[in-house]
Amino acid sequence: MTKPKHPGARVIRQSTLKSAIDCVGVGLHSGARVRMHLQPAAPGSGIRFRRTDLPGAPEIPALWSHVVDTRMCSRIAVDGGASVATIEHLMAALAGMGIDNCLVDIDGPEVPAMDGSAAPFVFLIDCAGIAEQAAPRQAIRVIAPVEVARGDARVTLEPAPAFSVSCAIDFASAAIARQDLSFDLDPAAFRAEIARARTFGFAADVERLRAAGLARGGSLENAVVIDGDRVLNPDGLRYGDEFVRHKILDAIGDFYLAGQPVLGHVRSVRGGHELNNLALRALFDRPEAWRCEDMTERTPGATTGAAALQVAG
């Protein structure tokens, strides 16, 4: 760990929830009805999931090294086999609102889809409140670029003052086509510009995905569904470029699996969960490409926790 970059600047403190709160919903891929309980956690404990329906209630750290599947979502697991899938939307909400430590009790295999975005989880955080903790908030600063690729898809992680994402997607469907967007992570901006963007899929893929054990809980209530060049949802889109905004939402959640905020720029071209995870693995495989440092009030984008709630509210 390094000392703060700006000596004398106030160190930003870690944050957790003020009180516990829960919700009930259906898993997007499993179709299972699950209850999820978010509760405060001690400084330095990070984000952890606890499968309360399994013997011994095993805990699974929300870390890049515990990601075992990236088909259509990010799934984490421990050696004993306990796993939790589709964690990225909740992780994005926790990252966007500056929550460092949270214990997530869940009685099923997948985080509930809610409406397919991160907005319901932001609402839960608002209701629970945010509490500042005594320990300093630390971040992973990218100091050398890393890049991973699969065919014409690639994700690059570059040095930058704060966490930001540039994303480009390109689909044959005219409902999506090519969309590009850059976003600097900030609690108020996350709430207004990213949190409400929903996951999306194609009607033509539904049967194939369900045969593979995926999308069994998907519906127009929790996803944007495209049929040819048409959006089937009666209310249409929440943003004109909702698709690329959701890809940015996914990236925010996936990169929060670093275990701490990442101070760097993510450049994604046709990227997804697999390349997001591979980019983190590539970063941590190179000790010379990153360092851990305390965040201070002069760190760009460092408004977090209780301050984030005040800014956003």
Catalytic residue numbers, as ranges: 273
- The CA radius of gyration of the chain, in Å to the nearest whole number, is 18
Q: What is the 3-state secondary structure (H, E, C) of the chain?
A: CECCCCCCCCECEEEEECCCEEEEEEECCCCCEEEEEEEECCCCCCEEEEECCCCCCCEEECCHHHEEECCCCCEEECCCCCEEECCHHHHHHHHHCCCCEEEEEECCCECECCCCCCHHHHHHHHHHCEEEEEEECEEEEECCCEEEEECCEEEEEEECCCCEEEEEEECCCCCCCEEEEEEECCHHHHHHHHCCCCCEEEHHHHHHHHHCCCCCCCCCCCCEEEECCEECCCCCCCCCCHHHHHHHHHHHHHHHHHCCCEEEEEEEECCCHHHHHHHHHHHHCCHHHEEEEECECCCCCCCCHHHHHHHHC
